[in-house]
Amino acid sequence: MGIRCLLYVSESCLSWPKDAAEVDHMVAVARRRNEQLSLTGALIYTRTHFAQVLEGEKAAIEDVMASIRADPRHRNLCVVADDPLEERYFPDWTMAYSGPSFYVDRQIRPLLSRATDPARSRRAAAGLLALMREFAAGGGGAAN
């Protein structure tokens, strides 16, 4: 069975100033869980939105997504890409994350609109994934 790459975006229900500690906790839990499930990926948090990439076996991604969909820390979750992969984009990261990335918010917001043209949505998702790959290549956080 091959690996997949799933990218979702969602609206944050977290509030400042407690959000930083909450997101750090989410990342720590995700890193442990992803390591157990052989998942890799990256997370971006903008204080108003989340964008997350998960890579791995379909069953493992589905298990994690069931948990994420039930998580009250976000709403309006929208899967914007779910594609087979030849090789992982984030092979060295159980979850790349290095703190809030406010400037990425404008990349995420259009992906949450159901009215967005599908071709435009695919381009926006590809652009967001490219930004996340650049971010991870630059360090993506102190711990893998």
- E strands present in the chain: 3-12, 40-45, 49-57, 74-85
Q: Residue 14 and residue 40: Cα distance in Å, rounded?
A: 24
Q: How many CA atoms lie within 13 A of 12 on its CB side?
A: 23
- What does pTM read for this prediction? 0.85
> How does the average pLDDT of the chain come out, rounded?
87
* pLDDT tens-place string over residues 80-135: 999 999 999 999 999 998 777 777 777 787 777 765 677 778 888 888 888 888 87
The DSSP line for 89-108 is SSTT-SSB--S--GGGHHHH
Q: Of 136 and 43, which is predicted with more confidence?
A: 43
Overall average pLDDT of the 19-33 stretch: 92
Within 10 angstroms of residue 6's Cβ, the number of other Cβ atoms is: 21
Could you say which architecture CATH assigns to the domain 3-137?
Answer: 2-Layer Sandwich (3.30)
